[in-house]
Amino acid sequence: MNADEDSKVALVAGASGGVGRVIAARLAVDGYDLALTYLDEDEHAERVAAKVREDDRRVELLPRVDLGDDEAAAAMVAEASARFGRIDLVVYAAGPWIPLAWISTLDPKKMREVVEADALGCFNLLRAAVAPLRETRGAVVALTTPALRRHANQDTMSSAPKAYIEALIRGVASEEGRNGIRANSVGCGITEGPGLVQKLIDGGYFDDAYFDAVRHNVALGRMARPEEIAEAVAFLASPIQAGYITGQSLVVDGGYTA
């Protein structure tokens, strides 16, 4: 296990999710030690930690945290910084399970819960992470959605909070660039594999006809693989490959918004 105090450290929020766990494993390949946080699915978090250790990187599973709780989010970031002595990268790959619904039928209470969990969750994370990122002149990458550029019916509970997150990312890029912090986002749509998509299938929201329609509307005729999203995150995280890129959204959607 790498114990080099000068190792790069990435804090990944949502590390137990279908895409989050692939991102964590990909960052380990680039030499990051990892602080992983999540809300549920302990088994998946343990698996990604084991995978990272196979790459001879240090990994710490932080206590479960609800990022919507500003004090808990700040305490988690402080703990990650204390354990590793630094934070070079923060990845927001978290977010609640969101059922599909037409705007006309949205429950205001449910919408409020989603905004607090996702939009304010990302805000609480980044607000707390600014101080340690200033010390390392680090970077932020947040996952958002292509639906901000091409509306997907019944997806407002997902896209509206992500619009807030993209605005937040641009704000961090503008305000903290003078401190060396870069902030970008990756717009990723429906992705193959376990995670949120499987929950929507299990809930009866997605079926074969839905996936056929998705493929029809995507220029490349297929859904993204988690590894393709992870590569985009790794690119934007790199101070060598993307050192002059900040305040941007890289949409990885197979041409859905083309």
Q: Residues 184-239: pLDDT tens digits?
A: 999 997 787 665 565 556 666 566 776 777 778 889 988 889 999 999 999 999 99
Q: Average per-residue pLDDT in the chain? A: 89
pLDDT in tens, 239-250: 999 999 999 999
Q: For residues 247 and 169, what is the distance between their CA atoms, to the nearest angstrom?
A: 6
Q: Taking a C-beta distance cutoff of 8 angstroms, is the pair 16, 37 a contact?
A: no
Query: What distance lies between CA 89 and its chain's CA centroid?
Result: 12
Which pTM value belongs to this model?
A: 0.90
Range of weakest confidence among 41-50, 79-88, 157-166, 207-216: 207-216
Residue 47 has pLDDT above 90, yes or no: no
The per-residue pLDDT for range 104-116, each reduced to its tens digit, is 999 999 999 999 9
Residue 95: pLDDT band with limits 50, 70, 90: confident
Domains identified in the chain and CATH numbers: 8-189+225-251 (3.40.50.720)
* pLDDT in the model for residue 71: 96
Q: Which amino acid, one-letter code, is at 252?
A: V
Mean pLDDT of 27-43: 89
State how far the Cα of 69 lies from the Cα of 133, in Å rounded to an integer. 21
pLDDT score for 4: 47
